[in-house]
Amino acid sequence: MIESKLAQLSDRESQEFSSAAFNETNLPMEDHNTVEEQPQFQLNEHDDVLGVPELVNQSSPNISTTWRSGSSQSQSNAIEAYAREAWLSVLGDHMTVEDSCNLEVAQATNILAIIDFTAGRTSSAWLKIGMAIRIAQDLQLMKEPSDTLPLVEQEERRRSFWSIYLLDKLVSLGKHRHFAILDEDCHVRLPCDELTFRSGGWGQNVTLRQLLDWSTDVGVESGFPVAILASSVLARCTRRLLHDRTTDETPPWDSKSEFASITSLLLLVESRLQVDQHPIKNVVDTYKLDDGIIDHPAMGHVIFARTVFHVCYCLLYHPFLVREQVRKVKCQVPSSFMRLASQKSYEHARDLVNLLHDAEAVGCHLGASFYAYSACLAGSILSLHMHAEKDTESQRYLELLSATQDSISILEGMAKFWDHASKIHHRLLTFNANAYLFDSLLDTQLKSVMDPGWERSLWSMVDYGEMCRESDLSIPSPKIPAPSDSPSFPDLELESGQMLDLGLDVQQISQIDDTLMNFDTPNIKYLLELASGGG
């Protein structure tokens, strides 16, 4: 059994592998500092990866040697081998034995789903997260743990459940991937704040239902609970906009519509985050350890919550998705609503990119896998607006040029460490080169009919799974030539180091490298990162 093999983990690369996996996933499964300080509590970070290094060392010594070589590619190959062996262990040691699935199996299956999803194996990841959800339900993780358990174990169960909850929402960002965990079934409290838990104290946090109540007091320091709240709203956006639901034919501008209900919830998230009152450069000062170093896991939850908040607005007011919504209504579309949607999509796409840019500038980590999707979603919206205003020399046009470049730079930096980010980066380049084809999306009169092939391309630009699977964005050849004065983009066969010509200073673009983008070293931890706030 896996548990018996965990005790054998002593070699350096196994410790490095599992420590990196735990520290950088930012999955709130448990707090490793607290656990390490309590030797009587046997669960530690190695449980989260099911002891895969030791399993592989026994069966395939060459994999361990590959890990020791230290190169990015060799470690990438090693993690694939470790993950494969761990999955076989899950199936062989636990799924074939009655009542053998435990908390560690749920945690490991969740992480294995992340590995598959970011590697483009979205169907395999979908099955694994489904299994993790069923194991969590079988273990009753959605309910409050027994108060007879040690406090650390209670907190680990909560963090394990909410990690699975988060992944369920993120992998469902697509037309054909419906999430499985319903908010009304979540009765377990959210994890307590990091500082209290690490100090060995105890703080009783709120439930998701309480968090949805305006009267519940949650401070800006409560990063992870607000990240869960934002993810809950994201799920409602996904269900309304991407899951092809035709049950609600109420116009989105009607106060009784689901659209209006979601915007109301986003106001609640905004009040929890206090974005305007607490810019990210000020918030980071409250998340520094005694030695002055940023507490990256805790700060990551704040960045993630704010990112998801802006992603919700980007989806809700996305020019293409708004068009899809209003096509279903059988009444006159108010032009003021279309103007509002256009303005909101621009503002939140810009704010999302600025958030990631500012977070990087103050030293925060931007290695989370979900940030690739976020940057692409915002970048594609900004590109649409940029091309629509190409004939102007307005301040807004210059802002669009700069923000679009920032979104591409973020993806270029992530592409050095994440396979799926490389694919998404390539897709955004292709989209930018063809964004002039979609000018009609910003037409408030909705007069033109869009080519079905272009619609398929636009759907793929909001589908997280498709972004991870395919780097090529198929756009049918236009029936009209590209405008000669349209912002130009380089041929996609150029080296990945070359950037878009968006009218920015060439010297500035040439200086973009690893030192300007605050990413960690290209090793195994990036293959296990989840966007649960930094991750």
Per the confidence metrics, is the pTM higher than 0.85?
Answer: no
CB-based contacts of 377: which residues, under 8 Å, 6+ apart?
A: 311, 314, 315, 318, 349, 352, 461, 462
Whole-Å CA distances, 489 to 402, 499, 532: 14, 8, 33
DSSP 8-state secondary structure symbol assigned to residue 435? G
DSSP of 456-510, one letter per residue? HHHHHTS-HHHHHH-S----PPPSSPPPTTSPP---TTS-TT----SS--HHHHH
Task: Report the candidate in 434, 443, 424, 454 with the shortest Cα–Cα distance to residue 383.
Answer: 434
CA dist list (Å): 216 to 153, 157, 209, 234: 26, 24, 10, 20
Three-state secondary structure call for residue 341? helix
CB neighbour burial string for 236-272, b if at least 16 within 10 angstroms, e if fewer: bbbbbbbeeeeebeebbbeeebbbeebbebbebbeeb
Does residue 45 sit within a domain? yes
The H or E element spanning position 449 is none
230-263 pLDDT, tens digit per residue, is 999 999 999 999 986 666 678 899 999 999 999 9
Instruction: Give the Cα separation of 489 and 500 in Å (integer).
Output: 5
Contact 350, 317 (CB under 8 A): no
Residue 222: per-residue pLDDT: 64
Taking the C-alpha atoms of residue 124 and residue 469, their distance in angstroms, rounded to an integer, is: 12
Residue 76, token pair as written in the block = 């990438």
Specify if 363 maps to a domain.
no
Residues of the chain where predicted confidence (pLDDT) is lower than 50: 1-26, 30-69, 220, 480-482, 484, 486, 488-535
Pull the structure tokens for residue 26: 């930012």
Cite the DSSP H helix spans in 60-102.
61-68, 72-89
Question: Which residue in 355, 465, 356, 348 sits closest to 411, CA to CA?
Answer: 356
- Confidence (pLDDT) at 249: 77
The answer as to whether 252 is a domain residue is no
The whole-angstrom separation of Cα 471 and Cα 466 is 9
pLDDT at 304: 94
**Would you give the DSSP letter of residue 91?**
I
In a domain, 38, yes or no: yes
3-state SS class at 294: strand
Predicted pLDDT at 52: 36
CA 534 vs CA 25, 395, 505: distances in Å: 8, 32, 30
Q: What is the DSSP string of 237-291?
A: HHHHHTS---S--S-TTSTTSHHHHHHHHHHHHHHHHTTTTS-HHHHGGGGB-TT
For residue 39, what pLDDT is reported?
32
Supply the Cα-derived Rg of the chain in whole angstroms: 23
Instruction: Name the domain count of the chain.
Output: 1
Instruction: With respect to residue 451, please indicate whether it lies within any of the assigned structural domains.
Output: no
Which residue is it, tokens 């358990």? 149
Question: Which of 359, 402, 376 minimizes the C-alpha distance to 519?
Answer: 359
Enumerate residues 6+ apart whose C-beta is below 8 A from 63. 56, 57, 77, 78, 81, 82
Q: Give the pLDDT score at 379.
A: 96
CB-based burial label for 358 (10 Å; 0-12, 13-18, 19+): middle
* First-residue to last-residue Cα distance in the chain: 30
In this prediction, residue 368 carries a pLDDT of 84
Q: Is residue 520 part of a domain?
A: no
Distance of CA 223 to the CA centre of its chain: 15
Distance (Å, whole) CA 169 – CA 166: 5
Which domain range does residue 173 map to?
1-193
- Helix residue ranges, H only, 295-451: 296-316, 319-327, 335-361, 370-388, 395-415, 419-434
- Does 125 map to a domain? yes
The answer to whether residue 301 sits within a structural domain is no
The CA distance from 78 to 71, in Å, is 10
DSSP letter string, 301-339: HHHHHHHHHHHHHHHHT-HHHHHHHHHT--SPPPHHHHH
Identify the pLDDT of residue 96: 78
